[in-house]
Amino acid sequence: MSTRIIVFAKAPIAGLAKTRLAGSLGFERAAMLAQQMLASTLEACLTADIGPVELCMSPAADAPEWDGVLLPPQLILSSQGEGDLGSRMARAARRALSGHALPSYLLSGHTLSNYSLSNYALNNRALTNRAELAPQVQQQVLLVGTDCPQLSPELLRRAAQRLSMQDALLHPTWDGGYALLGLRQFNDCLFTDMPWSTSEVAALTQARLTQLGWRYTLAERLQDIDEPQDLFWLTASWASVLQTPVTEASHHA
């Protein structure tokens, strides 16, 4: 069974990404941490090898904020589009579960990657239509962000396997949100009128899954990195990012 992983991410630049950590790290170092967390999440998703990996980007892939950000060429690139987080997640989940095929393009001189699959034409870029992908029904989808270093390849494989026997799977986080939502079918109620960025998100999502009558798994709680106090949970492997001089972080942002 094919599983699509959709990673939602902001461009890792100062003032846009990880702004709640800026009081502790500064905007430049917070952006560098965001870039490392993006890279770590994408590596885990690709290493899991359970299906295509889509990076759903904000702003769009052709925006200058993404210039110089190197991404693996295996990725599918898409735009989050307008609306709140729920609207953006709903569009991506509905599309993935409908089996809609994305067109493939060759991007001349694009710094993101050599090949990009997108559901929109990138403005002001030289595009050459390569081929249309054969339609493939995505039977299940994992929606993740880049805030949780615990999203390992093993955890993602296990989530996909558990989801194959359910309608949904939820990995809540200690702050009341969730790090992963797995779906085999779609319903708007999981994304609308949701108090995003509050401690009520996971509980309300679980309540709505119950109201739908869906079979779902409430998986283990994970730690995400959103607030300064969360930095305590980062392992020693992240120390070099946190201790990098601001001048160097600024160069990479």
- Give the pLDDT band (50/70/90) at residue 113: very low
- 98: exposed, middle or buried (Cβ count in 10 Å: 0-12, 13-18, 19+): exposed
Q: Supply the pTM of this predicted model.
A: 0.83
CA-based nearest residue to 181, from 218, 223, 129, 226: 218
Please give the pLDDT value at position 2.
85
> How far apart, in Å, are the Cα atoms of 2 and each of 31, 145, 244?
33, 20, 39
Residue 106, classed as helix, strand or coil, is strand
Q: Can you read off the two tokens belonging to residue 133?
A: 């992908």
Domain ranges of the chain: 3-252
- Give the pLDDT band (50/70/90) at residue 100: low
Cα three-residue angle 196-242-246, rounded to 5 degrees: 105
> How far apart, in Å, are the Cα atoms of 192 and each of 19, 90, 183, 203?
25, 8, 16, 14
Please give the pLDDT value at position 133.
40
Strand order in the sheet with 76-79: 76-79, 53-58, 3-10, 140-144, 178-183, 168-172, 216-218
Using CA atoms, how far apart are residues 44 and 71, in angstroms rounded to an integer? Answer: 13
> How far apart, in Å, are the Cα atoms of 187 and each of 178, 191, 241?
17, 8, 39
Cα-atom radius of gyration of the chain, to the nearest Å? 18
Overall fold of domain 3-252: Spore Coat Polysaccharide Biosynthesis Protein SpsA; Chain A (3.90.550)
pLDDT digits (tens, 9 = 90+) for 201-221: 999 999 999 999 999 999 999
* Lowest-confidence pick of 41-55, 73-87, 129-143, 179-193: 129-143
Decide if pLDDT at 177 tops 60.
yes
Please give the pLDDT value at position 244.
57
Using CA atoms, how far apart are residues 84 and 96, in angstroms rounded to an integer? Answer: 19
Q: Can you read off the two tokens belonging to residue 124?
A: 């002001």
pLDDT digits (tens, 9 = 90+) for 15-53: 888 889 988 889 999 999 999 999 999 999 999 999 999
Please give the pLDDT value at position 114.
34
Q: Stretch 101-115: mean pLDDT, rounded?
A: 36
Using CA atoms, how far apart are residues 168 and 206, in angstroms rounded to an integer? Answer: 10
Q: In angstroms, how far is the first alpha carbon of the chain from the final one?
A: 38
Please give the pLDDT value at position 250.
40
- Give the pLDDT band (50/70/90) at residue 237: confident
Decide if pLDDT at 59 tops 50.
yes
Element (H, E) at 162: helix 153-163
Strand order in the sheet with 103-107: 115-117, 103-107, 127-132
Kindly report the average pLDDT of the chain as a whole number: 83
- Give the pLDDT band (50/70/90) at residue 65: very high
